[in-house]
Amino acid sequence: MNEKPVDSRTPKVSAGRRRVLKASALALAAGGTYGVAPFFGPWKHNHVWSQAAQKKPLVIGLTMDASGQYGASGMEERLGAMMAIKEFNAKGGVLGRPIEAIHMDTETTPATGSRVAERLITRNEAAFLIGALHSGVANAISQVAQKYGCVYLNTNSSSPTEAGKDCHRVKFVWDGNGTNFALAIVKNAMAVNGKKWVMLTNDYVWGHQTAKAMRTIVEANGGQIVEEMMVPQNTRDFSAYLIKIQQLKPNVVATAVGGDDIKALRQQVVQLKLNKSPAWINNQQDWPDVYGLGADAIFGVFGTNWYYRLDLPGVKEFVAEYQKAYPGVQIKVPGNVYYNGYMATRELLRAVERAGSTNNIKVIKELEGLKVSARDRMQDFDAYMNPATHQIQQTIYMATYNDAPAEKDDIFKILSKVPPKDVEDPEAPGACKLEAYDATPSYEM
């Protein structure tokens, strides 16, 4: 990805609210960590480009993993965001300004997320920040974004704390969270499979909070968690955990494990022939984490918020556009992570258009009142932003492996679709304390 120097621009700020960011004339650091995203070529030879180029570009910072536990998902959400940006650029940008995207690898590490957010805001003068898989990284980015007043979209990290105790006025959460998925899946799993459960939990905030949500529902319905085993991030050998599961003989194993960790776990479960019994529940299954695995490795029941073969208006066209735009990518059809990156970015840019401004408070208020029809979202039920938590409330699907696929990549079977009102997190509004508008620094690029 080509590097590009950053032009000198000074953000507009309210007097006394925060220091004026210094305009930077520095080029982006060498080594490929920083890059300006593509899709500006088609503009160069048409009238739309010549008109929009007269206004300074609108810079969006993409805070997405390119390495670490969620590197594969980071690539997918980045492609989704870029597709939305491409569509707006093709029709003249937003408010007559061409959109530039600068990507910086957050490395699945909270400390890196903080540094990336600080750099994108203070040096690259990003108008908005978009992206996250790891909830600890998302929380770190959002703290920096709130300090400056920069609107930040958490596209794909789904700890309940992101729209709970770690919420911020500038942050909006676009994925379902652990509680949403647990409400859609756990009670039914208890009725079908039994009440003796073991939990495997990634040892960081998303794993902890997702497991907590599942435990609450299990115990409220008369079930028992006989063991919870903490799995360090980047675990590749699960043999000790699986031997313990064999000894405990639970009815259900509930996992809150993600990224490359869940890939390794699934493969080893199959090797030990534990994929048929006990029953397996994975709170949420991201498409990049199972794409390309053998059929046996896609077992159990899990949640998602979108699937590329939903029989709904617009889905086939969306898939075709992905394949046209990205013919060389390893993942041949879009999944939920790509979908969230696209939808978040599209709704942000629409909100800027409705606000007629990039002023953060005006954009925040537009997003807080967001309602999106099921047709526009390519889901089964209308979606809406909860203004008290800043999480989009949307359709949740329960899925399993598809034993009668229509084509090679058709690996999910949708078992049920749950409307957003049935899976809203009941604890989030009480836990979330959004900063007042007046306490949020004014920010405009």
HEC-encoded secondary structure of the chain = CCCCCCCCCCCECCCCCCCCCCCCCCCCCCCCCEEECCCCHHHCCCHHHHHHCCCCCEEEEEEECCCCCCHHHHHHHHHHHHHHHHHHHHCCCECCECEEEEEEECCCCHHHHHHHHHHHHHCCCCCEEECCCCHHHHHHHHHHHHHHCCEEEECCCCCHHHHCCCCCCCEEECCCCHHHHHHHHHHHHHHHHCCEEEEEEECCHHHHHHHHHHHHHHHHCCCEEEEEEEECCCCCCCHHHHHHHHHHCCCEEEEECCHHHHHHHHHHHHHCCCCCCCEEEECCCCHHHHCCCCHHHCCCEEEECCCCCCCCCCHHHHHHHHHHHCCCCCCCCCCHHHHHHHHHHHHHHHHHHHHCCCCHHHHHHHHHCCEECHHHHCCCCCEEEECCCCEEECCEEEEEECCCCCCCCCCEEEEEEECHHHCCCCCHHHHCCCCCHHHCCCCEC
Torsion angle of C-alpha atoms 116, 119, 122, 123, degrees rounded to 10: -140
CB 181, CB 420: distance < 8 Å: no
CA distances from 77 to 117, 159, 191, 314, 336 (A): 17, 17, 35, 19, 9
CB 149, CB 442: distance < 8 Å: yes
* Residue 20 confidence class, pLDDT cut points 50, 70, 90: very low
* Residue 259 confidence class, pLDDT cut points 50, 70, 90: confident
Nearest Cα to Cα of residue 269 among 300, 228, 291: 300
Neighbours of 343 (CB within 10 A): 27
Structural domains of the chain sorted by starting position, each given as residue range(s) with its CATH number in brackets: 34-176+315-393+429-439 (3.40.50.2300), 178-308+395-422 (3.40.50.2300)
Nearest Cα to Cα of residue 284 among 193, 202, 185: 185
Q: Dmax of the chain from CA atoms?
A: 69
Dist CA 391 CA 153 (whole Å): 10
Lowest-pLDDT range of 9-18, 128-137, 155-164, 257-266: 9-18
User: 196-225, pLDDT tens digit by residue?
Assistant: 999 999 999 989 998 998 999 999 999 999
pLDDT at 52: 45
Query: Once rounded to an integer, what is the mean pLDDT over residues 247-253?
Result: 96
Query: Once rounded to an integer, what is the mean pLDDT over residues 394-415?
Result: 95
pLDDT at 18: 32
pLDDT at 404: 94
**Cis amide prior to 278 (ω within 30 degrees):** yes
Query: Once rounded to an integer, what is the mean pLDDT over residues 358-371?
Result: 98
User: Model's pTM, two decimal places?
Assistant: 0.86
CA 75, 77, 79, 85 torsion-angle sign: negative
More confident residue, 100 or 295: 100
User: 321-344, pLDDT tens digit by residue?
Assistant: 999 999 999 999 999 999 999 999
At position 14, the amino acid (one-letter code) is S
The average confidence (pLDDT) of the chain is 88
Assigned token pair, 314: 């617009």
Per the listing, tokens 């009480």 go with 430
CB 111, CB 140: distance < 8 Å: yes
Neighbours of 279 (CB within 10 A): 18
Contacts of 236 (CB under 8 A, 6+ apart): 261, 264
Q: Is residue 50 over pLDDT 60?
A: no
Q: Is residue 37 over pLDDT 70?
A: no
CB 37, CB 126: distance < 8 Å: no
Q: Is residue 371 over pLDDT 80?
A: yes
Neighbours of 221 (CB within 10 A): 12
